[in-house]
Structure 1
Amino acid sequence: MKEQLLNLAKNRRSIYALGRNVTASQDELAALIKDTIKWAPTSFNNQTTRAVILFGDSHEKLWDIVAKRLKSEVPTEEAYQKTLQKINGFKAAYGTVMYFTDMNIVHQFENDFALYADNFYDWSEQGQGNAQFAVWTALAENGLGANLQHYNPLIDDEVRAAFNIPDSWKLRAEMDFGSIEAPAGDKEFMADDDRFKVLK
């Protein structure tokens, strides 16, 4: 059996020690991310996933928004300092991909295909998973690390205002990426018998 994809997937890990020692250009990385999302499958080929790719000051602005927004949510200053240290780790990365779902497209398909209307949002989430996994794996193939964060919906309004995001785009995740400054830890798996059935 060929295992090239499997081996690439094994390299796709949550890397938290990220830096800016990146040799690829911003244009090359943006092209890779865009093409990867284009080829990720979506139900009915409805292409509901949207992405905003941030570098430089824009990347830092996002994590400043997160830090400022969380200050009012964290109960103590000590806890906030720990949170801030984590966020500064994301900010130290080279760039961020913000993933969105275009709810106008979801609603359009709900109206056009009433028989499946209850499924289109769930299917858009599957499309998100496909896109995020594909981009994450493509970055790993090129020697870059990444991790996936979910500060939505806390930051939705601030992000919309700061980056001129259309009202119909719903923020789903934030993926910071950059050079791998320290490897991921060991990955543990639950027992196969609890997870899979093979019927012959």
Structure 2
Amino acid sequence: MSTTTTTLKEAIVNRRSIRKVKKNETITKERINEVVKTALHAPSSFNMQSSRIVVLMNAEHEKFWDIVKETLRPRVPEENFGATVERLQGFRDGAGTILFFENQETVKTMQENAPSYKEQFPFWSHQGNAMLQYAMWMSLTAEGIGASLQHYNPIIDEEVKRTWDIPAEWTLIAQMPFGEPNEEPGERTFLPFEDIVKFY
């Protein structure tokens, strides 16, 4: 366990979007493997476990962000593309990227096995993936590793599936670049507690 590991409360409070990350030799495949194992304890409806994860590190991670850049090039106005490249470079400079998928075959099987909930399983599937994303983000934060959640899908989906031989029934949900924090996050603002929470 890393010496930077914090309490659950500290991880929740300190979790932030770190969009500029960099490589660090202490962020190894073995260390990220342990983070992933921890995050996989996140719950899912009916214990359906429809989420799938692909971890890209080193050259594969850099290849992913090159794909994103080239996919965006014809879609972003030329005058804005420089800023887009700069943002993407903040992700590419990191140690790796976690790709979150949902296995639609699992969702379909659950719909067949529990037809009275058929309409709900796609929603529950995404909720489970969101909890996994959060568990992953919290686990990285507890390790002192910076991360953010990005959504360049669906425009990159076909190229990603082709490049890493991803099963056709997996749907890309989100991307989480990670690494040593290379920026100080801005201030967060919160709605008044009383507007969000009601006690009876």
Report the Cα offset of residue 43 of structure 1: 0.5
Which residue of the partner structure matches residue 79 of structure 2?
78
Which residue of the partner structure matches residue 49 of structure 2?
47
* Larger displacement relative to structure 2 (151-160 or 36-45): 36-45
Which of residues 29, 32, 47 is equivalent to 1:29?
32
8 Å CA contact retained: 1:67, 1:87: yes
Structure 2 CA distance for aligned equivalents of residues 173 and 51 of structure 1: 10
Task: Write the deviation string for residues 6-56 of structure 1: whole angstroms up to 9, x where unpaired.
Answer: 2211121101121112414212212321x1232110011110110000001
Structure 1: stretches of 5+ with no match in the other structure: none
8 Å CA contact retained: 2:21, 2:179: yes
8 Å CA contact retained: 1:36, 1:131: no
Structure 2 CA distance for aligned equivalents of residues 82 and 38 of structure 1: 35
Kindly, what percent of the aligned residue pairs are identical? 37
Evaluate the alpha carbon distance shift between residue 185 and residue 127 of structure 1 in structure 2; reply closer, same or farther with a 3 A threshold. same
Which residue of the partner structure matches residue 190 of structure 2?
189
Which residue of the partner structure matches residue 17 of structure 2?
14
Structure 2: stretches of 5+ with no match in the other structure: 1-6
Structure 2 CA distance for aligned equivalents of residues 132 and 22 of structure 1: 24
8 Å CA contact retained: 1:111, 1:117: yes
Structure 2 CA distance for aligned equivalents of residues 96 and 146 of structure 1: 9
Structure 2 CA distance for aligned equivalents of residues 67 and 24 of structure 1: 24
- TM-score, normalised to structure 1, is 0.93
CA RMSD of aligned residues (A): 1.3
Report the residue type matching 1:81 in the other structure. G
Alignment map for 1:70-149 (pairs within 5 Å): 70-75=72-77, 77-149=78-150
Number of residues of Structure 1 aligned to a counterpart in Structure 2: 195
